[in-house]
Amino acid sequence: MLHRSTRPSAGTSLVEMAVVLAVIALLGAVAAVYFSPGSTRLRSTVRNLKFDLEQARQEAVKRNATVRVAFSRGLEHFDCNEDGSSDSKDSCYVLYEDVDGMAGFDPNRDMEIKRVQVDPSIDIAPEEVTFWQTGTSTSATIRLAVEVPDQECEAQSPCWTIAYEVSTNLVGRVSVSEAQEGCTACTQ
């Protein structure tokens, strides 16, 4: 009579170990891009911008006035960080009450509600957003993007670009797109 052991084998096969290592490597590569400092700052900025656009809408209704959100890259010679010069370190957006009905933030003419610094590594396609006292707004899309160097990309200057679009519609609703990701040539 043959005697079979009821104990499981003590080892793993080479194939099982290779599969586990491949899964770990894949998860590590995804996590490196997802948790890179640039993408983390971008997600935080997108959340803050969505919140601030919603706040601008509420301020317009509360103040019974026109409230606008302007971006420093769309404003000439605007010193965001108040260091005395307007340069590449000045990246921000401003919520302001439009006192005289003229678009474009002017600190001498308009009432600033809030100024938010943005990391200069985040590219913002500027578009001024207007909220009226009725809670309605202009239809606008603000694109925020960051580049993360990635040797896996096959481009002239390999970068992994992550972008979000924060949009407002005519009734004042604010929405955020899913992340748009892909290999592109580096711009910085």
pLDDT band at 108 (very low <50, low <70, confident <90, very high): confident
Question: How far apart are the C-alpha atoms of 144 and 37, rounded to whole Å?
Answer: 15
Record the tokens describing residue 16, joined without a space. 């099982």
What is the full DSSP assignment across 37-103?
Answer: HHHHHHHHHHHHHHHHHHHHHHHHHHHTS-EEEEEGGGSTT--TT-SSS-STT--EEEEEE-SSS-S
4 within some domain: no
Statement: residue 180 has pLDDT above 70: yes
Question: How far apart are the C-alpha atoms of 106 and 53, rounded to whole Å?
Answer: 19
Specify the pLDDT at position 39. 82
- Give the range of the structural domain holding residue 137, as residue numbers without chain letter: 15-185
Statement: residue 96 has pLDDT above 50: yes
Specify the pLDDT at position 33. 47
Question: Which has more pLDDT, 178 or 126?
Answer: 178
pLDDT band at 28 (very low <50, low <70, confident <90, very high): low
Q: What is the mean pLDDT of residues 61-70?
A: 93
pLDDT digits (tens, 9 = 90+) for 125-145: 777 899 999 999 999 999 999
Specify the pLDDT at position 79. 73
1 within some domain: no
9 within some domain: no
Question: Which has more pLDDT, 121 or 7?
Answer: 121
How many domains does the chain fold into? 1
Question: Residue 122's domain is classified under what CATH number?
Answer: 3.55.40.10
5 within some domain: no
pLDDT digits (tens, 9 = 90+) for 141-176: 999 998 877 777 775 667 888 999 999 999 999 999
Distance of CA 101 to the CA centre of its chain: 29
Question: How far apart are the C-alpha atoms of 80 and 188, rounded to whole Å?
Answer: 21
72 within some domain: yes
The pTM assigned to this predicted structure is 0.73
Segment of 36-45, 75-84, 159-168 carrying the highest mean pLDDT: 159-168
